[in-house]
Structure 1
Amino acid sequence: MFDDPHVTSLRNDLALALRAAAHFGLGEGVCNHFSVALPGESGLFLLNPRGLMWSEVRAEDIVVVDEAGNVVEGRHEVEPTAMFIHAAIHRIAKKACVLHTHMPYATALTLTVDCGIDTTLSQNAMRFHGRVALDHEYNGLALGVGEGERIAHALKGRDVGFLGNHGVVVCGERVDYAFDDLYYLERACAAQVIALSSGRPLRPVNAELAQRVADQVQGERLQSELFFNALRKTLG
């Protein structure tokens, strides 16, 4: 099963997403994780292993794990918090691809009372209008099933979760779509933090316009595919 061409393609895509995230400074040491569910109702998913820098991860390093956190296939171990967060989101929220990071600007916004991004500010932010869940409750490291399940439920079916005092989760139906969202989410958060640092009043657009932009982006994802293909050519 794990030699199936589709699974091989998913391995390659997940490894590329990790290397690309490292390239753009979205990683944090050997922490944080990306995962993608395997086809069917097996409950199995691919996950980056414990202890490797994202910049060094290749397809053969990706581990296959089950919902209980058991390594089904792979030569590396997995990190406990990854299992509790990712397994719960795949199982409860039914998300195919789950990207969890502590990327700087998005995480900075989780430290504020608002907890997340204003999707009526920059054009990049507007693509997420109506797609963001804010989880204001922080309970420490996700070292138990209950905390992973709480985070999964806190997403409320949305694609993006801002985890208070912690980081973000970006989900998608495909690895390339999810990575594209991850990249532009950090760009949008950076723009908001920089604008706030100016001390000048911000100028949001109305919610109807923000929703129209979100619909436009979601309605045509060719740009996401082209971006990921460009990364494949430049990062290998």
Structure 2
Amino acid sequence: MAGDGGGTYPVIGGGDASKRPVAGAPSSSDGACPDGYDPLVWQARVDLAACYHLCDQMDMNEGICNHLTVMVPGTTDRFLCIPYGLLWTEVTASNLLLLDDAGNVLEGEGTIDATAFFIHKAIHKTGVTCVLHTHQPYATALCCTKGFRLRMCHQNSLRFFDEVAYDPVFNGLVLDDTEGDRLVAVMGGKSVLFHANHGVIVCGPSVAEAFDDMYYLERCCKVQILAMSSGEDLNIVSDEVAKKFKEDCASDGGKANWAKLHFDALKRGLMRGPGRIFRE
């Protein structure tokens, strides 16, 4: 159950976090949906597990910290998350925890990091399907600057035109509903949050779309930092062009389709290496 954040670090879930959690859902070594298991729920597990592996491959995680979640299809109060203590290369579809919004672990064994619970629960309550919170190097580096703004200086940046919220207040660890709700209010429905002195949150209607945005966010932040390091002024694209670029990307479901193609290709790449365990 969730703690109240009253001076102690809340414990969400149960079990020995020092041991690798065992599977709480049926597993399938060939990636197929196990008998008797909802195919949509299993696919959500597979996609989220793949996302953990891909973030590890691309240096978009930090130790056993940071957290990625997805709502369980067909529910409004349940989501999947990593058990705290796993390396992201150990994540499989079957060892993800399934929690409700009261902090009860309904499938799986282990605990969820309290900051993950309070941040992600609050955002999922607004109807967001997938929430990715990372301390990826270049985006986080921008969060550590006084200006901490994503500038419209590169094509990849334009997909985030008017889509980034900025939180200049760092209150430490998110250990209760108050701070989680505050972050939601600051986001104001935008899909990306830059949190000063901390990191970023990226939201999307699917794991594929959220991951695609996070990937390109890190790429454009890297380009911006490299350009800033030259000492030259950034060459900013006009709001008119940036807005039109973003609209063109989204037209006819193009951006969502590109995200799916990108994510599917990366999952095929995982299947050629040790990351293939994400489907188990």
Runs (5+) with no aligned partner, structure 2: 1-24, 26-36, 272-280
Q: Which residue of 2 aligns with 1:59?
A: 93
Residue from 137, 141, 158 that aligns with 1:108: 141
Equivalents in 1 of 2:110, 2:180: separation in Å? 22
CA offsets, 1:180-223, max 9 Å, x none? 00000000000001111110111011001111111122231222
In the TM superposition, structure 1's runs of 4+ consecutive aligned residues that sit over 3 Å from their partners are none
Alignment of 1:134-173 (within 5 A): 134-173=166-205
Alignment of 1:4-83 (within 5 A): 4-83=38-117
Count of paired positions? 233
Question: Could you tell which deviates more after superposition, 10-19 or 49-58?
Answer: 49-58
Provide the identity percentage.
Answer: 43
The RMSD of aligned alpha carbons is 1.2
Equivalents in 2 of 1:29, 1:130: separation in Å? 31
Q: Which protein has the larger Cα radius of gyration, Structure 1 or Structure 2? A: 2
Shift of 1:94: 1.9
Asked if the contact 2:44–2:73 (Cα under 8 Å) also holds between the matched residues in 1, the reply is: no
Runs (5+) with no aligned partner, structure 1: none
Q: Which residue of 2 aligns with 1:204?
A: 236
Q: TM-score, normalised by structure 1?
A: 0.95
Q: Which residue of 2 aligns with 1:234?
A: 269
CA offsets, 1:74-129, max 9 Å, x none? 122211110000001111x32110000000110111111222311x2110010000
Q: Which structure dedicates a bigger proportion of its chain to helix?
A: 1
Residue from 115, 119, 129 that aligns with 1:96: 129
Equivalents in 1 of 2:165, 2:201: separation in Å? 10
**Match of 1:183, as an amino acid?**
Y
Asked if the contact 1:106–1:116 (Cα under 8 Å) also holds between the matched residues in 2, the reply is: no
Question: Could you tell which deviates more after superposition, 17-26 or 31-40?
Answer: 31-40
**Match of 1:110, as an amino acid?**
C
**Match of 1:24, as an amino acid?**
M
Q: TM-score, normalised by structure 2?
A: 0.81
SS in 1 for 2:131: strand
Asked if the contact 1:61–1:76 (Cα under 8 Å) also holds between the matched residues in 2, the reply is: no
Equivalents in 2 of 1:154, 1:138: separation in Å? 12
Equivalents in 1 of 2:61, 2:119: separation in Å? 17
Q: Which residue of 1 aligns with 2:157?
A: 125
**Match of 1:28, as an amino acid?**
E
SS in 2 for 1:46: strand
Equivalents in 1 of 2:147, 2:250: separation in Å? 25
Equivalents in 1 of 2:76, 2:161: separation in Å? 33
Q: Which residue of 1 aligns with 2:118?
A: 84
